[in-house]
Chain A
Amino acid sequence: MTDELARRIEASFEKDDDQLEEDLPELLDDIDGQADELVREHPALVSRLLGRMQEMDIAEFVSENPETADQFQELLWAGVRVLAENDDEVSEQITEDISVNFEADDCPMTGHLRTDADAGTVTGGSGHLDDSDLTITGPADTLVGLITGGVDPIQGFMQQKYEMDGPVHKGTRLAPIMNSLSEKAATPQ
């Protein structure tokens, strides 16, 4: 049960950004290992927490707290995973197997995403895959925005907020999946 954790997260929303940033490493440490459960039991809360984090300077946070960067991503990807596994709208968008590596160009943060067309799932995590179809490079807050809905994938690409390498058709198939995920992430469950 994650109710106690949820109460602490709820309480953290009362704090200002500086205080939240200070408390976040400990909070993420406590979430570590319970991320999936937390997302399932308190999806709206996680959505709010990720929303608050988006208002922070992610690159600075990761640079100052490198050990918590992976925990932050685990929470992020747990959210994505849970959103995708129970949502027909998201699953319907997954028509192709696509693997993507993410690399922040302003802090030491790497991540990855993989879609499975047969299972209709999206999984992700920290670190790189050995052989990805696409590589997305850009500022950390843009990469997080791509996942949480703050940055429209196509619009962000056209406005040169990030760069993408790999086959163009994989990129165009990935965009609706990201859009659909981020719409869900932005909507309180």
Chain B
Amino acid sequence: MRLTAEQEAFRDDLRQYLDSEVDPVVDDLDENGPLDRETLLTFIRDLRELGIGFDPETAPQFFGDVWRFVITAEEVSRVWPSLNVGLMMSFPSVFVRFASSETREAMLPKLERGECLGSLAVTEPSGGSDTARPRTTARKEGEEFVLNGQKTWVGNAHYADVVLVVAEDESAGAQDMFLVDRENASFETEELEKLGWKGVSNARITFDEVRVPADNRLSTMFSNAIGAGNDMNDIVPFPESVTQLFFEQKPLNATFSFMRTGMAFMAVGIMQAAFDEALAHATDRETFGSPIGGHQLVQETLYDMRVGLETSRQLARRAAESLETGSEDARLLSSMAKGYTSETCVDVTSNAIQVFGGEGLKTDNRLERYFRDARVMPIPDGTTEIQKLIVGKELTDLSAYT
């Protein structure tokens, strides 16, 4: 594939911004992470100027163009993966427009300014990411649902304005999602200390009798919005090819395919940063009177890194193409890409440290951050093991996980 002139210009503008505004501050901010709400919003406001965001004006051109979305995931992650996570995890705020009147009243002005931060609460302490059988429950009481349960590893949880929570809808006997807005409901969060992605907040959330309006149930929001004459793409600002996959591969699976493709490009961005630094070091650093890049084993390491980077990028692009065309392989390719690139970026960033030798182990060197951020990649949004089972199911039509 080749990027269009417009997509290339978009990437160039983004690179310029990241190099001039984020790169100089990233080391300090990551070390002292997670970001506070206002600092994250500063970056989000800047990115909005470049056409990246989740407000009603920006979301259709950003999430609605697969290539803009993946270029952003790769380029932002090349400089700072945590910023990419903070940005992408805000996606659920797009649903504010279709929520209950009280949520709209509280959050719509923020959303329209691009300042309504979102969060997605899927994983549970006891059940992992088994979205089909969440233990968090939603009990119907009059015109409200009452949420009870715990979620963990919730990105942006500390400062998010709205959280989209996967829960068992007891009234329907089915899994659904519920939009909780923080102005009308409160819940406890507990920050999680973690190995990588230190710039972004990940927390455990406890929902204890948290009441949300019945109209904040996601399936009701869709029903109401379509009843009011909206198309699926008005509600979820994905390309039509992806919303068509809602029919063919179920809405949640199609959303995962979209987000996992973004994760694959995130891994590519981390690898690119590590490779660039390793290559520069290999040609600058001298031992025994010549650059270390002249040694055969260093060249072999660089070969391995570059092959890992290129195969990852190509597989991630195949996944993006499958989303763009609405291919029936979208679920298979996005899981394959997420699993493969996540594991490969651990190897590539580890090899980058190897090229640097002892220097690569120092905490004032970015190499160790790249490695820590890379090591997180195979876990969230479905572990590599889960991705393998999804691919296995897609290949054989036999499920090994139900």
Q: A154-B226, A158-B218, A168-B246 are known; give 9 further A-B pairs, CB within 8 A.
A: A155-B219, A158-B176, A158-B219, A159-B219, A160-B175, A163-B250, A165-B247, A175-B223, A175-B226
Tell me which residues across on chain B come within 8 A of A166, comparing CB atoms.
247
Q: Is A149 an interface residue (CB 8 A)?
A: no
Return the chain B residue nearest A93 by Cβ: B227
Chain A residues contacting B226 (CB-CB under 8 Å) are: 154, 172, 175-176
Q: What does the 1/0 interface line of A11-36 toward B look like (CB < 8 Å)? A: 00000000000000000000000000
Q: List 13 A-B contacts (CB under 8 A).
A: A154-B227, A155-B217, A155-B219, A155-B223, A158-B218, A160-B174, A165-B247, A166-B247, A168-B244, A169-B231, A171-B247, A172-B231, A175-B226
- Cross-interface CB contact of A176 among B169, B175, B227, B240, cutoff 8 Å: B227
Chain A neighbourhood of B280, CB < 8 A:
none
B384 cross-chain contacts in A, Cβ below 8 A: none
Chain A residues numbered 131-189 whose CB sits less than 8 Å from any CB in chain B: 152-161, 163-169, 171-172, 175-176, 179
Closest Cβ–Cβ distance, residue A74 to chain B (whole Å): 29
Contacts of A156 in B (CB 8 A): 219
Say which residue of A155, A157, A168 sits within 8 Å of B220 (CB atoms).
Answer: A155
A155, A157, A160, A161, most chain B CB atoms within 10 A: A155
Closest Cβ of chain A to B74, distance in Å, is 28
Within 8 A of A (CB), among B82-126: none
Binding site for A on B (CB under 8 A): 169, 172, 174-176, 217-220, 222-223, 226-227, 229-232, 240, 243-244, 246-248, 250-251
Q: Report the Cα distance A157→B244, complex, angstroms.
A: 13
Report B-chain residues with C-beta under 8 Å of the C-beta of A155: 172, 217, 219-220, 222-223
Partner of A172, one of B169, B172, B232: B232
Chain A hits for B243, CB < 8 A: 168
**B217, B218, B247, B248: residue with the most chain A Cβ atoms closer than 10 Å:** B247
Expressed in whole angstroms, the minimum distance between the Cβ of A161 and any Cβ of chain B is: 6
Shortest Cβ-Cβ A-B pairs, 8 listed: A158-B219, A159-B174, A154-B223, A155-B219, A154-B222, A168-B244, A155-B223, A172-B226
**A contact residues around B227 at 8 Å (CB):** 154, 175-176, 179
Of listed A172, A175, A179, residue having the most chain B CB within 10 A: A172
A-B contact number at CB 8 A = 61
Contacts of A152 in B (CB 8 A): 219, 223
Task: Give A134's nearest chain B residue, CB to CB.
Answer: B247
Residues of A within 8 A of B175 (CB): 159-160
A168-B232 in contact given A159-B169, A175-B227, A176-B226 (Cβ < 8 Å): yes
Residue ID in chain B nearest A176 by CB atoms: B227
**A178 CA to B232 CA in the complex, in Å?**
17
Q: Which residues of A contact B (CB under 8 A)?
A: 152-161, 163-169, 171-172, 175-176, 179
Question: How far, in Å, is A106 (CB) from chain B's closest CB?
Answer: 16
Task: Indicate if the CB atoms of A159 and B172 lie closer than 8 Å.
Answer: yes
Do B176 and A165 touch across chains, with their CB atoms under 8 A apart? no
CB nearest to B240 among chain A residues = A168
A-chain residues with CB within 8 Å of residue B232 when the two chains form the complex: 168-169, 172
Q: Residue on B with the closest CB to A156?
A: B219
Give the complex CA separation of A163 and B175 in angstroms. 15
**Chain B residues with CB below 8 A from A159, complex form:** 169, 172, 174-176, 219
Chain B residues within an 8 Å CB radius of A157: 219, 251
In the complex the two chains form, is A161's CB within 8 Å of B247's CB? no
By the criterion CB–CB under 8 Å, are A164 and B247 in contact? yes
Per the bound structure, the CA–CA distance linking A175 and B176 in Å amounts to: 19
Nearest Cβ on chain A to B151's Cβ, whole angstroms: 20
Closest to B248 in A: A165
Once bound together, how far apart are the Cα atoms of A167 and B232, in whole Å? 11
A180 CB, nearest partner CB in chain B, Å: 9
* CB of B186 to closest CB in A, whole Å: 27
Nearest residue, chain A, Cβ from B234 = A172
Q: Nearest Cβ in chain A — how far from B203, in angstroms? A: 27
- The CA-CA distance from A167 to B326 in the complex, in Å, is 12
CA distance A157 to B251 in the complex (A): 9
Minimum Cβ distance to chain A for residue B248 (Å): 7
Interchain CB contact under 8 A, A160 and B222 = no
Q: Is the CB of A158 within 8 A of B222?
A: yes
Residues of B within 8 A of A179 (CB): 223, 227
* CB nearest to A159 among chain B residues: B174
User: Smallest CB–CB gap between B31 and chain A, Å?
Assistant: 42
- How far is A155 from B220 in the complex, measured between Cα atoms in Å? 6
B216 to chain A, nearest CB (A): 13
Tell me the minimal C-beta distance from B135 to chain A in angstroms: 17
CA gap between A161 and B218 in the complex, in Å: 15
Cβ contacts under 8 Å, A165 to chain B: 247-248
Closest Cβ of chain B to A142, distance in Å, is 11
| Cα distance, A88 to B62, chains bound together (Å) | 40
Question: Of all chain A residues, which has the CB nearest B326?
Answer: A168
The answer to whether residues A154 and B247 also contact, given A159-B176, A172-B231 and a CB cut-off of 8 A, is no
B2 CB → nearest A CB, Å? 29
**Chain B residues whose C-beta falls within 8 Å of the C-beta of A160 in the assembled complex:** 174-175, 250
